[in-house]
């Protein structure tokens, strides 16, 4: 065999060895980060008892190391912990291939200089909250750290999970409450965390299957932070009850994606929406047409220097259903990319945007009530396909924008395809698109602002209506008053009122046979009203009335299901094109 052949064989052997090592490392990583149903079953005959009493610790059988007030678990197995330590610590440090289970069976541990529970090394650590047990962990205000760790009352370098029907209360006076530098899974239990920084953190991921979580954090409430691997850094919530108060951070934050399947959420961040001045809705050189506020912003809305959002998934935020009560200083729902809402019930008060995504917001259904916001929904592409949506804003209600203030078409779009939508903007445009608006269905009622220069509709491109019901009102803004585009296939009427119409007075249109087309009660004084409905037919004759009374039910200003009477006839007109202008 010549030297060349020997060299080639050696290279092949080396490559094969390196490949095997890489696969072994990948397998180890995958094994350490995956949940297994077997994690939550064990042989009760092999359980090790760790009993704590003041500063004394006993281990039966003696398979763990006790050094004064510190017990160190050095081998895999299941450990039942009970009793209390006035100033002590439980350490897990094992190189075994098996898992370590810690059964919290009525423990109270205080550690003044470090984490009460510290996982230095293990394949996986599974914490079982024994049914009916009450468990408490408390740390001090300073730690003796090595390379920056530990930094949480329960700190783990390894995969960490929680299960069981007991309770756990964590008071973290140093920094975080519960933290894993791997993945973290919560299957069940009642967990309460009060923390000087973040509440619960899973670096690679945080998964909550169910449980009752109460978080009172100075920093973020729930979070995942791995920004080095795009497949990690996510938060998934399947169900559960969540009561989160984040004084100076986000309630739930994922550096990649946040996905919520179900659950009940009560969220307050940064002191809530009332802690933020609502602003005027007008920025210098940009009367209501640009993007909303944000950290360091000057155009109104949130002007803080840190993120104090309700739900944040930087890469994506997806909500399937759930019940959400969010009171946030910053955006209530936020993504640097995309937000998708498929259902759920939302009550939102925000000091900035209620719903903000840089790329797209898609709402398929659900009930969304925004009681306060600077801008209600902002994105480059906003699509509503269904749902009951009520938006209250200081500045724009809908703001479709690529992110820069402009009076030219920037390519953004607002798609209105379905749902019952009411927009009430006090100082900005009710519907604002730096690009186009396309309406194919649904009902949209847009209550414009109190005074000029803002309007009910502000579109740099086209507003094409091919279906649905559109009602938009606004103040006297001169030649800035906009309506639907001539490319629309559904007819519309724009009525201007020389003396304005007060909120106490009705506006009514009926056809030549006396059938009600619209009976509307404005929420504030209006100068004009734009109406597009399938009932408006080319060649049809209609009459406009003001004042009078109705027996109909008023929903978002539209009175339906009753009889109109007693008004004053103002104008009779005939539909002759896509947009008919009427004035009186």
Whole-prediction pTM:
0.91
How far, in Å, CA of 275 to CA of 247, rounded?
Answer: 11
Collapsed DSSP state (helix, strand, coil) of residue 529: strand
* 474: β partners: 528
pLDDT of residue 17: 31
How far, in Å, CA of 203 to CA of 201, rounded?
Answer: 6
- 3-state secondary structure string, 121-161? ECCEEEEEECCCCEEEEEECCCCCCECCECCEEEEECCEEE
Instruction: Quickly list DSSP for 61-77.
Output: SS-SEEETTEEEE-S-E
Low-confidence ranges of the chain (pLDDT < 50): 1-32, 280-298
With b meaning 16 or more CB within 10 Å and e meaning fewer, what string describes 519-556?
Answer: bbbbbbbbbbbbbbbeebeeebebbbbbeeebebeeeb
Asked if 130 and 106 touch (Cβ cutoff 8 Å), the reply is yes
Instruction: Quickly list DSSP for 71-125.
Output: EEE-S-EEEEEEEEESS-EEEEE---SS-EEEEEEEEEEEESSS-SEEEEE-SEE
pLDDT of residue 25: 33
- The first and second tokens of residue 283, run together, are 């920025």
pLDDT of residue 183: 97
- pLDDT tens sequence across 501-516: 999 899 999 999 999 9
How far, in Å, CA of 380 to CA of 402, rounded?
Answer: 5
Conformational region of residue 548, where left means phi above 0, alpha means psi within -120 to 50, and beta covers everything else: left
DSSP 407: S
Please state the φ and ψ torsions of residue 437, each to the nearest 5 degrees: -130, 130
For the beta carbon of residue 203, count every other beta carbon within 10 angstroms: 22
- The first and second tokens of residue 434, run together, are 């730096």
Query: Rounded mean pLDDT of the chain?
Result: 91
* Of 37, 92, 40, 96, the residue nearest 70 (C-alpha): 92
- pLDDT tens sequence across 117-168: 999 999 999 999 999 999 999 999 999 888 889 999 999 999 999 999 999 9
* 519: β partners: 508
pLDDT of residue 405: 76
- The first and second tokens of residue 86, run together, are 């006035």
Please state the φ and ψ torsions of residue 491, each to the nearest 5 degrees: -80, 155
């Amino acid at each position: 065999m010549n030297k060349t052949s020997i060299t080639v064989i050696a290279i092949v052997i080396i490559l094969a060895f390196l490949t095997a090592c890489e696969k072994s490392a990948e397998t180890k990583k995958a094994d350490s980060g995956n949940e297994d149903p077997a994690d939550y079953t064990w042989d009760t005959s092999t359980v090790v008892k760790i009993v704590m009493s003041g500063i004394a610790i006993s281990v039966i059988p003696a398979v763990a190391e006790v050094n004064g007030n510190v017990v160190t678990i050095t081998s895999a197995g299941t450990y039942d912990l009970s009793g209390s330590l006035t100033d002590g610590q439980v350490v897990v440090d094992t190189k075994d291939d098996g898992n370590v289970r810690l059964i919290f069976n009525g423990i109270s541990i205080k550690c003044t200089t470090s984490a009460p529970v510290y996982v230095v090394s293990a394949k996986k650590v599974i914490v079982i909250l024994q049914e009916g047990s009450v468990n408490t962990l408390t740390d001090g205000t300073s730690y003796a750290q090595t390379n920056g760790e530990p930094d949480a009352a329960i700190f783990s370098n390894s995969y960490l999970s929680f299960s069981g029907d007991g309770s756990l209360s964590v008071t973290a006076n140093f920094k975080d409450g519960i933290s894993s530098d791997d993945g973290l899974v919560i299957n069940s239990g009642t967990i309460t965390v009060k923390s000087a920084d973040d509440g619960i953190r899973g670096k690679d991921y945080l998964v909550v299957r169910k449980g009752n979580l109460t978080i009172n954090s100075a920093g973020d409430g729930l979070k995942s932070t791995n920004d080095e691997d795009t497949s990690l850094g996510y938060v998934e919530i399947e169900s559960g009850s969540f009561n989160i108060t984040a004084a100076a951070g986000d309630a739930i934050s994922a550096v990649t994606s946040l996905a919520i399947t179900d659950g009940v959420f009560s969220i307050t961040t940064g002191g809530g929406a009332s802690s933020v001045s609502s602003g005027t809705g007008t920025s210098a050189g940009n009367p209501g047409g640009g993007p909303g506020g944000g950290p360091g912003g000057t155009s109104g809305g949130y002007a803080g220097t840190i993120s104090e959002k309700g739900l944040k998934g930087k890469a994506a935020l997806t909500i399937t259903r759930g019940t959400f009560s969010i009171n946030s200083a910053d955006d209530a729902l936020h993504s640097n990319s995309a937000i998708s809402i498929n259902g759920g019930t939302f009550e939102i008060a925000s000091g900035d945007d209620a719903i903000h995504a840089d790329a797209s917001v898609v709402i398929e259904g659900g009930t969304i009530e925004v009681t306060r916001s600077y801008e209600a929904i902002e994105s480059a592409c906003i699509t509503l396909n269904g749902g009951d949506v009520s938006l209250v804003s200081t500045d724009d209600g809908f703001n479709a924008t690529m992110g820069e203030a402009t009076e030219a078409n920037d390519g953004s779009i607002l798609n209105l395809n379905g749902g019952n939508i009411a927009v009430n903007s006090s100082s900005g445009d009710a519907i604002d698109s730096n690009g186009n608006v396309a309406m194919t269905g649904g009902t949209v009622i847009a209550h414009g602002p109190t005074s000029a220069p803002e309007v009910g509709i502000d579109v740099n491109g086209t507003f094409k209506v091919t279906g649905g019901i559109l009602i938009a009102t606004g103040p006297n803004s001169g030649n800035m008053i906009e309506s639907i585009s001539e490319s629309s296939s559904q007819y519309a009427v724009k009525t201007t009122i020389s003396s304005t119409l007060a909120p106490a007075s009705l506006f009514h249109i009926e056809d030549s046979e006396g059938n009600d087309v619209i009976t509307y009660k404005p929420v504030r004084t209006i100068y004009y009203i734009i109406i597009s409905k399938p009932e408006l037919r080319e060649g049809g004759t209609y009459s406009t009335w003001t004042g009078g009374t109705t027996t109909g039910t008023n929903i978002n200003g539209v009175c339906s299901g009753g009889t109109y009477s007693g008004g004053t006839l103002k104008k009779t007109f005939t539909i002759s094109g896509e947009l008919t202008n009427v004035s009186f």
